[in-house]
Chain A
């Protein structure tokens, strides 16, 4: 859930920065949240498997990507 919140903040900042590309406060916040997100994504992928295909665990003997559930099958 934390990953979702941080990623959503980045989506929102992304669109804001598209039309306010020199807003220093938004730029700083983007950088800060982006760093936090990297850490949380790594933790998430360790527990639940890859969020993108690049999340495949090094040395894993099977392809994790095709393991369920898919996002529309989650019960939160």
Chain B
């Protein structure tokens, strides 16, 4: 596949491995976090060996996720800077969801929606990490005043629900935009796909190749 002229590289093996580590930790965190979120999700504790295990494991998995996200952040932050063109892209996003992408400004390696997701994820991750440490009763909660623990509990639940919604959107758009999953699984996309969805990036890569 590497020498396939029809394909271009989108994500390196290291980027892909980190993405899936992040994805796995996110899924484990979402499922174990929902255990404490509302009684209707309490049954999910069985996936982790009971409520006590869910409580023990959740914060440690969270640490792994934070490290993994930090790596992703530093790798991709340069490519996710929002530009004036991105504002235009977002204005037309509705048409795209309706099925007409003829007016979309040319997207680079990441389109404005992906960039927006990137920064919203950073916000949620930062809030989750900080509030999560404060409500980690085993090691940290006792050193914080109770009002802070209460505020952190509220913030953790809110940003947790927020990040679950964001990732649900992320997963759906990866399914909706055919073939995009291949980029994260195998590292390559077809040239036609790149031309269609990320034209500016396609031209940039093409220019480099020629």
Tell whether A pairs with B. no
A-side interface residues toward B, CB under 8 Å?
none
